[in-house]
Amino acid sequence: MAYTPPGYPGRAPMPYSTQEKKQALVRVRRIGGQLDALAQALEQEADCGAVLQQIAAIRGAVNGLMGEPAVALAEPSIHCRSTAMKSRAAVAFAPGKPLEIVEIDVAPPKKGEVLVKISHTGVCHTDAFTLSGDDPEGLFPCVLGHEGAGVVVEVGEGVTSVQPGDHVIPLYTAECGECLFCKSGKTNLCVAVRATQGKGVMPDGSTRFSYNGEPIYHYMGCSTFSEYTVVAEVSLAKINPQADHEQVCLLGCGVTTGIGAVHNTAKVQAGDSVAVFGLGGIGLAVVQGARQAKAGRIIAVDTNPAKFELARSMGATDCVNPKDHDKPIQQVIVAMTGWGVDHSFECIGNVNVMRGALECAHRGWGQSVIIGVAGAGQEISTRPFQLVTGRKWMGTAFGGVKGRSQLPGMVEQAMHGEIELAPFVTHTMELERINEAFELMHEGKSIRSDVYRHGSAVLGCAMNFAVYLPPQAETERLPVLYWLSGLTCTEQNFIAKAGAQRYAAEHGVIVVAPDTSPRGEGVADDPAYDLGQGAGFYLNATQLPWAAHYRMHDYVVDELPALVEAAFPASGMRGISGHSMGGHGALTIALRNPGRYRSVSAFSPIVAPARVPWGEKAFTAYLGPDRADWARYDATELLQTATERLPLLVDQGEADEFLATQLKPELLREACARADHPLTLRLHPGYDHSYYFVASFIGEHIAWHARALKG
C-alpha cells in the first residue's frame, strides 16, 4: 500500500512497510495524548510559552512523520498562568477520620517542579497507617496517596526530563543523580528532597495545595489522591505512553518493592529456597519475583489460607499457615527444608515475625530481608548467635529500585506480561468512593475466587472449577459468564491473571472458570502439551483411549451449569467466553447450542481448528480421521448452518506468535460474511497471546456480556 499525505496532491506516493506503519501509529497516538494534555494545560492557564514550545516540537514530530523538515514556531509573548487551579481531592483533615472529597486549589509548579494530572491511584496500607494517626511523621491536613500514574500538564522553570503530554509515575523515592547517595552506586536512596518531603512540603519549603485559603500538606512527595498534583522533577519516572495506568500505577510502591527486594536486595539465584511472610500485595510480589528468579522452592506463609490459591498461581510451591502448627513457624520451616531457607522476606511489619523470618534462614549464609514497616518505637531482637552463625539481616526501601532510571524498564516488563499486575487490581472505584476502598482494604476483601472440586459423572473423574460471586449475589440471583481457558491452563490461570473480578463486581455477573480437561489417575494423557490433560478442546471424544473421559463439551454445556445453578444464586442466564483453545470452545459451544447462551466472546480463538495444526492433531486423536466429524467442532463450519444469529465479539493481538499458523481470524471473518452472521473482530497492534492481552480488554468483554445478559 502507499500513503499520500493530505495537502500534498502533487507528491509521489511513498511505500511504507507494515512495521513502519505500526511505528507511525504509536507515534501518532503519543502525539494525540500530548495534544490533549496541552489543551488541558492551556485551559488551566498554564505556562503558555512552554506550551507553545511543546506545540512546535509536536509540529516537528508530525512533519517528521510526513517526511517534511521540522518548522519552528516563533515564540509569541502571551501571559502565563500565575494563579491556582481547581482540583478534586480526597483530603485527610484529621487523623482517624474519613477522607473528605473537596475542591482544593493547586498552585502552579515552581522551579524544578511538574504539574501532573493523575489518572489512576492505588490505596496502600502506608496511606492507611498515616491516616490512622500512628505515623510519627503524619501531618494534617494533607492529600495522601503515593501509588499513581498520570500525564504531565505543565512544567516549572528548569525542568528538562519531562514535558507536557509525557506519561509518568510519581516516586516517593527520588533519584536526582547528583547527591552522595545517588553517585555512590550502593543504594537507591536519594536525599535531594528527603528533608522537605518528610515535612509535607515542596523543595522550597512551601506547599502547592490549599483549601479555603489554608495550606494543605503534601504526602511522600506524591499526593496522588488529587486530580492534579505537583511533584518534584526528581520524583517522576517517565514511562511508555501505551502503558495501562490502571495497572502500572501499582509499580509506584508495593509491586516494585516486592519484586525489587528479590532481585536487587537479596539477589535470589536459580534454585535458591525462599520463604515469604505475609501474602498481601508486597508478599505476593515477592513470590512473583522469586518465580522470575527461578527459585527452586517458594514457601508462602500467612494466617489467612484464602490467600494461598493466588500465591500458588504466582509461583508458591508450599503454603503454610502458622496456626496449623504447635511450634514456632521458624522451626516448622527449618524442619521442612533441613537447614532453613536461603532467603526470607518479612512483608508485614511485625517485629515478632521479623525474628521468625531471620531464624528460619539457612545457617552459614541465609539472608532475611525486612520489607514491612513496623510501628513507631518498636524494636527487633534475636539472639546474637543467629548472626554469628552466618545469617544476615537486611532491609530494603522500594526494593532497591532507582525510580527514574529503572522503573520505566519494569513498566515495559509489565506491558510484555513479564510482571503480572492484573491480580493486584482488586477493585476499581471513582475518587468519591475512596473511603470504601480503605474499608475493603482493612477488611481484607480483596476480590478473589473460590475453587470447588466435585466428582463429574460426565467425565468420570474429579474436576475443579473456580467461582467468583460479586457482592450483589448476597441479595439477588445473577447471570453467569462461563470462561474457558486455553492449552496447558487450569481453572487458576484466568482467576489469577485476567483481573476480571472487579469488572464482574461492577456489572453484577458471576464468573465460573472450569479446568480445561479431565485429569487424574486413569485419565488418558499424552506427553505433548497440545493433547491430553490440559488440552481437552471442549469436544466429546469418540476414539480410544480418549472417549472414556474426554467429554468436555457435555460437561461445560450440561453438567457444570446444572451444578452451578443448584449451588449458587445463578439466574439461569448464561454467557460464554474463552481464550485460544477456550475461545474455540466458547464459539463452538454457543453455535452448537442455540438458545442456551445469551452472549459469546473470545480472545485469540482457534477459529478453524480443522484447518490448523493444533486442531488437526487433536481432532485426529479425539474424533478420528473423518473430517465430517471435525466440522461439528469448527466454528467456521458451524456458522454456515447456525439457526441463531448470536453476535460474536472477538479480540486478537496482531503480535500473537500463533496468528498466522494456528488462529487465522480472517477465516472467521470470511465465514461470518458468507453466513451474514454479526461479528465484531478487533485487531490490536502490539499485543501477543498472553494473559496480559486478556487483562487489557476483559473489562470490555464483561460489559458486552452484561448488556446481553441483563438487557
Q: Tell me how far apart the alpha carbons of residues 373 and 705 are, in angstroms, rounded to a whole number.
A: 43
Q: Tell me how far apart the alpha carbons of residues 488 and 6 are, in angstroms, rounded to a whole number.
A: 49
Q: Which three cell numbers stand for residue 142?
A: 494533607
244 catalytically annotated: no
Closest CA to 235 of 172, 290, 178, 153: 172
How are strands ordered across the β-sheet holding 100-106?
Answer: 142-143, 85-92, 100-106, 209-211, 214-216
- Asked, as a colleague might, if the bond just before 241 is cis with ω within 30 of 0, I would say no
Residue 474 neighbours by CB under 8 Å, 6+ apart: none
Rg value, the chain, Cα: 28
Q: Which member of 313, 656, 677, 690 is catalytic? A: 656
Q: Which member of 580, 601, 604, 696 is catalytic? A: 580
String of DSSP letters for 375-430: PTT------HHHHHTT-EEEE-SGGG--HHHHHHHHHHHHHTTSS--GGG------
Q: Tell me how far apart the alpha carbons of residues 91 and 695 are, in angstroms, rounded to a whole number.
A: 32
Closest CA to 539 of 551, 531, 547, 549: 551
Please state whether beta strands 209-211 and 214-216 pair in parallel, antiparallel, or not at all (unpaired): antiparallel
Q: Tell me how far apart the alpha carbons of residues 209 and 228 are, in angstroms, rounded to a whole number.
A: 10
Residue 77 neighbours by CB under 8 Å, 6+ apart: none
Closest CA to 234 of 199, 264, 189, 198: 189
Q: Tell me how far apart the alpha carbons of residues 107 and 208 are, in angstroms, rounded to a whole number.
A: 5
In this structure, what are the phi and psi dihedrals at residue 3, rounded to the nearest 5 degrees? -130, 125
580 catalytically annotated: yes
DSSP 548: G
In this structure, what are the phi and psi dihedrals at residue 268, rounded to the nearest 5 degrees? -60, 135
Is there a contact between 169 and 155 (Cβ–Cβ < 8 Å)?
no
Closest CA to 312 of 287, 278, 282, 280: 287
226 catalytically annotated: no
Is there a contact between 362 and 388 (Cβ–Cβ < 8 Å)?
no
Residue 344 neighbours by CB under 8 Å, 6+ apart: 274, 275, 276, 277, 357, 358, 360, 361, 366, 367, 368, 369
Could you tell me which residues are beta bridge partners of residue 683?
652
Is there a contact between 240 and 375 (Cβ–Cβ < 8 Å)?
no
Could you tell me which residues are beta bridge partners of residue 167?
151, 239
SS3 31: helix
Residue 295 neighbours by CB under 8 Å, 6+ apart: 268, 270, 271, 272, 273, 274, 315, 343
* Start-to-end CA span in the chain (Å): 43
Q: CA separation (Å) from 595 to 480, 563, 639, 677?
A: 15, 19, 15, 16
SS3 226: strand
Q: Which residues are catalytic?
A: 580, 656, 689
